Amino acid sequence: MDKNNASAMLLRINKQDQIEALQSIGFTTVNENTPASDIAKYMKWAGTLLDLSLATLRIEDGEQVFFTAAEWNSMSANNRSKYIRIGIRLRAECRQLIIAKSDCIDTGGNKTFKWGGYGTDIRGLKNYGGGNQGLHDTFDGKENTDIIIEALAGVKDSQGTVGAPAAEAARAYKACTLANDGIEDTTVWNLPALGELMLIAKYKKEINELVTSMFGSQNILTTDWYWSSTEWDASSAWNVGFNNGGVNTNNRQSASRVRPVSAITSLSL
């Protein structure tokens, strides 16, 4: 076998190994027909931040469309008017999600919410108490939010809090409304699981730069504590401090900020 043929075979074997490795961690659409340039992007996505982009809804049909900052800034005002900006898409470390363009604020202007359900060990919601096995790999914010809202709907806890204020605020969040923007936001927004929140905190600097560019500095992720939908026990839940990315548990009666997220399960470029 000549050197050229041997080199070609080695490259094919290497690509096959890369494909198998990428498929094993969730990139199931990667195959032998995937260009080498795309495989390089998937490899970056697997281990670090691939990219951040502007998440929009197309007014014509309500479809989610994503733009890099350069793409958005190069568009005419007329073309921009066909889309409503709803948040920032994050693609990093084998995950993809949309971060809402702003924190939740209630009708009274309050920016913090209690978690609720003090004293209730919610059935179907895993407790990450002693040992915390798997805590950092929790990316089930949608499922958590569904369970929390259903379990605590209309229930007054022992401290007088009704329902699940933090989870309810996240689910009720709207990035746009038919009356104001010509389109209704049908995105399913969730109270992020701890893993989702930690991923956001890790890339907070880059996220805030894009948020500032697209939505103004008043919408940045602050240095406050943000609730996750992940339980510690019947009286506490996990939250993340966006000052330095610290992780802690807090009494469910304490008030923290809420930044909704919407998970995207497809891991294709």
Same domain (yes/no): 109, 234: yes
CA distance 127 to 265: 24
Q: Report the pLDDT averaged over residues 215-236.
A: 95
The answer to whether residue 95 sits within a structural domain is no
The answer to whether residue 163 sits within a structural domain is yes
**If you average pLDDT over every residue of the chain, what do you get?**
91
Q: What is the largest CA-CA distance in the chain?
A: 79
Same domain (yes/no): 246, 158: yes
Same domain (yes/no): 150, 252: yes
Same domain (yes/no): 66, 154: no
Q: Give residue 137's pLDDT.
A: 81
Q: Give residue 161's pLDDT.
A: 93
Whether 159 has a pLDDT exceeding 80, the answer reads: yes
Decide: 260 and 191 in contact? Cβ < 8 Å: yes
Same domain (yes/no): 152, 198: yes
List C-alpha distances in Å: 141 to 38, 125, 145, 148, 208: 29, 11, 6, 10, 22
Same domain (yes/no): 132, 232: yes
Same domain (yes/no): 191, 245: yes
Whether 220 has a pLDDT exceeding 60, the answer reads: yes
The answer to whether residue 51 sits within a structural domain is yes
Whether 256 has a pLDDT exceeding 50, the answer reads: yes
Q: What is the pLDDT of residues 127-146, one digit of tens each?
A: 887 766 777 788 999 999 99
Phi first, then psi: give them for residue 230, nearest 5 degrees: -95, 125
Q: What is the pLDDT of residues 199-214, one digit of tens each?
A: 999 999 999 999 999 9
Whether 10 has a pLDDT exceeding 60, the answer reads: no
Task: Read off the amino acid at residue 69.
Answer: A
Q: Give residue 8's pLDDT.
A: 46
Q: Give residue 118's pLDDT.
A: 95
Same domain (yes/no): 70, 153: no
Output the DSSP codes for 167-235: HHHHHH--S--HHHHSS------BPPPHHHHHHHHHTHHHHHHHHHHHH-GGGS--SSEEEEEEESSSS
Nearest alpha carbon to residue 88 among 200, 182, 195: 200
Same domain (yes/no): 60, 85: yes
Same domain (yes/no): 180, 56: no
The answer to whether residue 97 sits within a structural domain is no
Same domain (yes/no): 66, 133: no
Q: Give residue 60's pLDDT.
A: 93
Whether 252 has a pLDDT exceeding 70, the answer reads: yes
| Boundaries of domain holding 123 | 103-263
Tokens of 87: 């948040």
Q: Give residue 13's pLDDT.
A: 59
| Total residues found in the chain within this entry | 269
* Residue predicted with more confidence, 104 or 37: 104
Q: Which of 33, 55, 90 is the last residue of a domain?
A: 90
Q: Give residue 1's pLDDT.
A: 45
- Domains held by the chain: number: 2
End-to-end CA distance of the chain: 37
Q: What is residue 248's three-state secondary structure? A: strand
Q: Which of 69, 90, 111 is the last residue of a domain?
A: 90
Q: Report the pLDDT averaged over residues 111-125.
A: 94
CA distance 64 to 59: 10
Same domain (yes/no): 161, 252: yes
Nearest alpha carbon to residue 117 among 163, 154, 80: 163
Q: Which of 66, 90, 114 is the last residue of a domain?
A: 90
Tokens of 190: 């969730």
Q: Give residue 103's pLDDT.
A: 97
Q: Report the pLDDT averaged over residues 187-196.
A: 96
The answer to whether residue 98 sits within a structural domain is no
CA angle 89, 174, 156 (to 5 degrees): 115
Contacts of 128 by beta carbon, 8 Å cutoff, 6+ apart: 134, 135, 138, 194, 230, 231, 232, 238
